Structure formats: C-alpha cells, structure tokens
Structure 1
Amino acid sequence: MFRSQGRVRFVRIGSALQIGTATAVCAIALGWAAVAGNMMWQHFSLAQDQAAIDAQARSVAAEARKVDAYKQSVNDIAADLDRRQDLLDDMIRSQFGTDGADPGLVGAPDAETQADTPSDTSAAAQKKQLSALSGMDRLRAMEERQTRFAHRLAALVDQRARKAEAAIRSFGLKPEQLAGRTAQGGPYIPWTAKGVADDDALTKLAGSLSRLNMLERSLVSIPSGRPTASPMLSSSYGYRSDPFNGHAAFHAGLDFPGRYGQPILAAATGRVSYVGQRQGYGNVVEIDHGHGIMTRYAHLSGFSARTGQDVTRGVQIGRMGSTGRSTGTHLHFEVRVNGAPINPRRFLEVKDDVLQVQQIAKQRFARVNGRNDDEADRS
C-alpha cells in the first residue's frame, strides 16, 4: 500500500515473487558470508604463517647467536691456551736455557713422578684421542694436557731440588743458612686480567722453579775445587799448638805446603772482594761466592787477580809464598759462611754424586747466561 499525492494505491505482490526475492536476498547474504568467511580464513592462515615465519626467524637468530658465542668462546679459549703455553715456554727458557733441554730433567723419574709420567704408548694414544676431537672439546683436552704437563714438570723440578738440598747438606751446610733473603725489588705493578688468570698449576710450577733456582745457586757457590795442586796438608782445621809460641790456638783453615810461586787457584766461581795484606795472613786474596760464602787464600808471594774481578773455578788468582805469620812456603786456605769459619776439608772431599749434581746446576746457569759448555766445565 502506497500513498502518493493524497491517493492511496495498493500493489499486490505474489507469493512467487516474494519467494524469489527472499531467495535472492538469502543467496546474496550467504554469498557475502562465504566471501567474508573465506577472507577471514585467509587472513587467519596468513597470520599463522607469519607467526611461524617469525618464530623460525627468531630460532635462526638464536642459533646464530649461539654460533657466534661458540666461536667467540673457542677464540677466547684458544687465546688463553696460547698465552698459557707462552708462559710455560718462558718459564722453561728462563730457567733451563733456549732449548729447554736439561740433563737434570731428562731420564728416569723417581717413584713419586713415575706414576704421573705417561709411557710413549699412552702418550701416542692420548695424541690419537686428541686428534679425534674437534672444536671446544679439543681445546679443553689441550688445556688439561697443559695442566698435566705443568704438574709433571713441577714434580721433576721438586725432585731435582731435593737432590740439590741433599748435596748442600753433604757439605755440612743448611740450605736456609745460604738462602737468606734474596735481594729483589722494583715498582709494584698489579697483575691485570688481560693476561692469563690465576692458574694453580702454573703457580705451583713457578714456586718449584723459584726454590730450585735458590738451591742450585747456593750449591754452585759452594767451593769444591782444590786451591792448589799440593797433595798433602801441613796443618788441619781446628785447635792446634801454635807454631811460634807452642800455646793452644785455633786454626781457621787448612795449610797446603808447596814450592815458592806455585799457582793458587779459585776454589769456586765468584768475585774477588779483597786483594792486599791482612795482619797475620800476609798477602791475601778473598773471593765472595755469594750466599754468604767467602774463601780466603793467605801467605801469598804475589797476586794474579784484582779486586772486583769475576773468576771461575780453577782460575789462577795468586802465587804461593810465606808472607805474614808463616814458618815456610805454604797456602793457608779458609772457607767462611756469613763471616764464621768452617772446616774446608769437607769441600775438598766431595763425593762424585754430589759433584755431579753441582755440575748439572753449573751447566744450567751457563746455558741460561749464554755461556758455552767449556766455560761451564771450567766453572
């Protein structure tokens, strides 16, 4: 029913048209719903795909960071191992010479180090196992191998130090008596984290090397050579009847008779600390061997050394005579430790095994100082 310009009209719509119209409207609505649903589904699918892609991208980025961190860690460990190896090399080079070879550290280890020293077979097996590893595991294995080496070397150094200590005691001396307080100094420079961090194995090795160095330097300073070629003694160390007045007196050295002008030799390496005359001794040469040890050569007829001169064992420093309070041509030989006289006889009757330990120590310091073997033998 319509109203237009005051007139009412009636329009009659048939059921068929109504049904058709309704059907068309429903069809349009269903089509729109289908299209909207499809669009929503596609949007949802795209969102899911994008989320999956984003998750995958994050995973790839995380893995990339892990790889970067792994590479950085490997590089850091490799750099630490290089610095650690440099320290080991420097320790060995500074204490045993340029090649690091030393007769005192080569040969059969004692019972203490035997168990910790691998055989050639086990060493080859370890090398084979090491080559089978890769990356971080290989670096860790190399680090452990360095640590074992440092511990084994420290054990061998301790073994050698015990031999040096026993050799010192065989002279009737106490190692702590010779050690004293070593002269050291320099500005305080704190340890920085840029180098190798605190390392128990290297710290122990450094301590062992320091103790060996002290003991062997003390051992080398001990006189062990005869001051002259005379085979006999005319007067021993200790109490005796004074040759001039017959009274009981203390004789602080040994007397070696011989011919006038016979060469007098340095009993050990050292520095001439005095050349001149002393009351009762006549013409005297005194040699400072370090660690509080001094040798005195008295009644000389002449001098072959000067004050401040460095001499080696066996080098001529004077000539035998009879100056001072003397009854005839002879050498008066004294050994003093921290100013107190001790019996020199024990230094002239050294066993071969003690001499061997002392000679090995001399050769080590000769290599470190860049001297040749002949000079080491003479000293």
Structure 2
Amino acid sequence: MSMTRFARLRRSLVELFPERHLYIRSGGEMRSFVLTTGRQMAIAGGVAAGALWMGVSTASMMLGAMAVSGHDQELARMQAKSERLVADREARLNSAMVQLNQAEGGVGELAASVERRHAALAMLLTEFKGQPGAQAALGPAIAKATSASDDVNPLRRIELVRAGQERLVDAADDFARTRADRLRLAFRLAGLTPSSFTPKGGSLGGPLIEAKDSRALAAVLDVDEDFAERIQHAATNLSEAGALVEAATRLPFARPTTATPQTSSYGVRFDPFTRRPAFHSGLDFAGSTNSPIYATAPGVVSFTGVRSGYGNTIEIDHGRGFKTRYAHLQAIGVRPGQRVAVGTRIGGMGSTGRSTGPHLHYEVWVNGRAQNPSRFLKAGDYVLQGE
C-alpha cells in the first residue's frame, strides 16, 4: 500500500516538474541542457527557502520598530497625564487663594508660609543639582517662583509667589517622573525588571524621602500636606532615576565596536558553512582586521584564549550574573583578572576560529543563559537619549 502511494507521489512530481530540455545557440554552436525533475525540485526548494527567510527577517525588523514605537507612545500618554494634573493643581491653587483671602490672618501669616515653602523647595532643588537637563527644565519656573511685580499690593505679590512655587514643584515632579519613566522603559527594553536595580524600602536616601509618609514630612518641613506630598514624590522619582542611572553604568549597554555594520542578528539563521538553519547566540559586526573592540561595561576579565568554534576569545564578568563574550579576535589586549572600564579597548577584530572573514561575534549572558544583545544596545541608546 505504501509503495503505491509512493508511486503516485512520484508520478505527481514528474507531472509537476517534467523533464525539460534547454537549447542555447552561441557562436554558431548549439548546446543543450537537461533539467531533470530532481534539479527542478531543488531549484524550487531553494527559491521557497529564500522567500521564507526574507519574510522572517522582514517580520523581525517590523516587530522591533513597533516595540520602540510603543514605548514612545507610552511616554506620550504619561506626558498628557502630567499636563492634566498640572491644570487640576492650578485650579485648586486658585480656589485656595480665594479661601486664604477670606480667612482670618494677614500678610504676615502668608509670608511665613511662603518662606517655609521656599525652604522646602531649596532642599528639593539641591537634589536636582547636577542632573542632566535639570537647569533647562526648571530654570524658567525658578525665575517665576522667586520674583513678583512691584506694581501690585503685598498680598497679591505673595499670592503670585505661591503660584510660582506651585509651578516649580510641578515642573520638578514632571522632570523627575519623565526621567525615571524613560530609564524604567530602557531597562524593560533590555528584558530587565527596573525595581530589582533600585534599593528596597526607604533606603533610597535623602531627607525628603526618609519620612514614612507625606504627613510626617509636612510636619518636619512645616508646610501643607499636599505640598509636602508632591515634593516627596519628585524626590523619590529623582532618587530612583539616579539609582537606575548608576545601575546602567554597570550593565553592558555600550557598543563593542564603532562604525562597523551589523551583519548577523541573534536567533535562527542559515549557517555560513553548512547552509542549514542554526541558532546564532549573538551579534556579528564586520570590519577590517584589528578594528578596535571595546568593553561594553566595567568588569573583570574572566577568560582569554581559544574556545572551540570561537577562535581567540575574551570573556568579561560584570557582576550580578552578567557576562559578555568577544570572539574571532585577531589580537587580545587584556589578561584574566584584569579590571576594565566601559569603553576600554580589549582587542582587535579578526577571523580566527569558525569564521568566514574579519568580524566580531558578540554575546551577552545573564545567569548562564545567552540573551539577545540587540535589546541591550537599544536600551543603551534609550538611556543616552535621556541625558
């Protein structure tokens, strides 16, 4: 029965790919070529495999572009939400000003309140000192919060200063939140959990976030609870952003080469030697022999030498389970046990081991498992955009 089915299948293939004769006349001579059924099937299989590979590559590129676009849309939604919160607080401020004008007390009490708020803002702005982009983001709000026209009565001047203080704390909170959100997204792009790279509990540090809640902080600063809560929120976001920036400097977010094109991606590809699908555990960057290779994060060189298939190889341990591998090198410029900083030149590009030409094979490992290095490179670019 099985032989009958095989014979039917064979007849179907012969009918689909009948033997064809190709005649070519050149220089007065006639040549003939025979395209057998087997040859035609091999050609058709090659065309189908090429089309499948192009489809998979195109889908992979589209998915990567959609992922980055999705993260940008999330930031846009966060920005719109922040603007709505600012408008709501402006309305509450105007209502509060009306109540203050109607309540007992006078200019002296309002002035004392303004002074206490200024002291709290001074502590907050100390935390922002030296942060990239902080001066440009907060400069206009600081100028408005510390000045008022001399052409209005004292009570109105105090009200204007208080309004400026509200805008300044909103600007600080927005800056800190945006910075922290961008860094959290960068870590997620790399497949990492941001919270695992920030201190737990109340160990972030700083007097503005050591208090257990905004009520306690309001009592310490002698300001209203709502104002204290917003100051604490801004300080907490800024502190978390600082912790993520510090963590990012220790992770392999930098690029191992410069001005070299990527020639192979992470995942299944056609092996250049066997011409069959095989898993590729890293990224390939092509370049000239001895093109500089750089450490992508600080760490300790854990291995230098020859590995099977990889040729001359360098491995660097970055701590917390992170390791990077640089293979097919022509030259090795470091030794085991040596500490290296991010951007340190560690070797030169080559074509040793199982290689078809000068290139770098780069891998990222986390807790003993190979990861997609492209995710870490995208995360590094995203971190740089926020600086």
The TM-score, its normalising length taken from structure 1, stands at 0.51
Match of 1:153 among 144, 152, 172: 172
Aligned residues of 2:187 and 2:194 also touching (Cα < 8 A): no
Match of 1:200 among 199, 205, 229: 229
Aligned residues of 1:288 and 1:295 also touching (Cα < 8 A): yes
Q: Give 1:131 deviation, angstroms.
A: 6.7
Pair 1:173 & 2:173 matched: no
Show CA shifts across 1:195-230 (max 9, x none). Answer: 525711211111221343355556665635352544
Match of 1:227 among 226, 239, 257: 257
CA distance in 1, matches of 2:126, 2:113: 20
Match in the other structure for 2:359: 330
Q: Report the 3-state secondary structure (helix = DSSP H, G, I; strand = E; otherwise coil) of the residue aligned with 1:200.
A: helix
Q: Give 1:340 deviation, angstroms.
A: 3.5
- Change over 3 Å in CA distance of 1:74–1:179 after alignment to 2: closer
Aligned residues of 1:217 and 1:361 also touching (Cα < 8 A): no
Q: Give 1:78 deviation, angstroms.
A: 7.0
- Change over 3 Å in CA distance of 1:71–1:92 after alignment to 2: same
CA distance in 1, matches of 2:120, 2:269: 61
Match in the other structure for 1:101: 135
Q: Give 1:92 deviation, angstroms.
A: 1.0
Show CA shifts across 1:85-133 (max 9, x none). Answer: 3312211116449xx425xx379xxxxxxxxx98x9xx59982279732
Q: Which amino acid aligns with 2:116?
A: D
CA distance in 1, matches of 2:146, 2:197: 46
Aligned residues of 2:269 and 2:279 also touching (Cα < 8 A): yes
Match in the other structure for 1:309: 339
Pair 1:83 & 2:122 matched: no
- Change over 3 Å in CA distance of 1:278–1:106 after alignment to 2: farther
Q: Report the 3-state secondary structure (helix = DSSP H, G, I; strand = E; otherwise coil) of the residue aligned with 1:331.
A: strand
Instruction: Say what the alpha-carbon RMSD is for the aligned residues.
Output: 5.0
CA distance in 2, matches of 1:124, 1:330: 57
CA distance in 1, matches of 2:294, 2:146: 55
Point out the structure with max Rg over C-alpha: 1
Match of 1:251 among 280, 298, 303: 280
* Structure 2 counterparts to residues 49-64 of structure 1, below 5 A: none
Pair 1:127 & 2:143 matched: no
Q: How many residues align?
A: 266
Q: Report the 3-state secondary structure (helix = DSSP H, G, I; strand = E; otherwise coil) of the residue aligned with 2:221.
A: coil
Match of 2:128 among 72, 75, 92: 92
Q: Report the 3-state secondary structure (helix = DSSP H, G, I; strand = E; otherwise coil) of the residue aligned with 1:127.
A: coil
CA distance in 2, matches of 1:341, 1:138: 62
CA distance in 2, matches of 1:226, 1:278: 19
Q: Which amino acid aligns with 1:133?
A: P
CA distance in 2, matches of 1:96, 1:257: 34
CA distance in 2, matches of 1:195, 1:72: 21
Match in the other structure for 2:94: none
CA distance in 2, matches of 1:273, 1:132: 69
Show CA shifts across 1:150-178 (max 9, x none). Answer: 12221233234444455556xx434x525
The TM-score, its normalising length taken from structure 2, stands at 0.50
- Change over 3 Å in CA distance of 1:284–1:195 after alignment to 2: farther
- Change over 3 Å in CA distance of 1:337–1:322 after alignment to 2: same
- Change over 3 Å in CA distance of 1:125–1:204 after alignment to 2: closer
Q: Report the 3-state secondary structure (helix = DSSP H, G, I; strand = E; otherwise coil) of the residue aligned with 1:128.
A: coil
Q: Give 1:331 deviation, angstroms.
A: 1.7
CA distance in 2, matches of 1:186, 1:200: 16
Match of 2:384 among 356, 359, 362: 359
Aligned residues of 1:252 and 1:341 also touching (Cα < 8 A): yes
Q: Which amino acid aligns with 1:157?
A: A
CA distance in 1, matches of 2:229, 2:349: 56
